[in-house]
Structure 1
Amino acid sequence: MRQPDIEIYLRDDHLDDLFNWLGREVGQLNLHAPTGLTQRGSLKTSHTTPVMVVRKAAGKWASIWFDSDQTPWETDVDCARAVHAGIGHEVRCSVGGWTESDGEADADRWLKVNSEGEAEFVWAQKP
């Protein structure tokens, strides 16, 4: 089932690899100058998708949010797999489409996609 938006996490120091890959393999990526740790823009494929990048969203990890249900990927996991295959760095995403109404029990369940494969893990964020 297609998710209403896509969000993945990538280490801040690999963002340039992601941006280059997106522009080369997925579509035209246009990013505006950062405002603090946040950078906004769009990814143009057959549809223009708003993109927001938040550096250090989780420690050394950046959040990359594609705000559309018209992305090249149906789910966060599909995107994480494609990005890892394209740039070779670990990508993290939620296990499934989590919302606040789902409760806190599954909020820390994540999937990491890396050279060792895919593994679910608990990513406990410290306040």
Structure 2
Amino acid sequence: MALAKIRTIVLDCPAPHALAGFYAQVLGGEVKGAPDADWVDLFVDGLRLAFQRAPGFVAPRWPGGEHSQQIHLDLDVEDMEAREKDVLALGATALDLADNGGRRGFRVYADPAGHPFCFIRA
């Protein structure tokens, strides 16, 4: 028997509304929260991602190191090359694109606040 159910996944960041907007463009969904709010929610496909203002936020570094990633999102995509162009245009940063001609099956990016996430070939 499970002890609990996940309600929300929360990412610390310097600008919650902006980061929620980035993920809304990547994942779809509805952003709820004022532009200057310290907490903003993104509701998408029955999930809730939240973005919390963190004074003194230090972006994670991938891979590991002094500021470990702590958490990352794995996102399925149908067309890796097309979605890569789209997400880079939205403000993501490429961290590791060496997927060995598609054999590895994933590529690593950072969102505008520096959180790593992966596109996984669906």
TM-score, normalisation: structure 1: 0.35
Q: Over alpha carbons, which structure has the higher Rg? A: 2
Higher helix fraction (1 or 2): 1
TM-score, normalisation: structure 2: 0.36
Higher strand fraction (1 or 2): 1
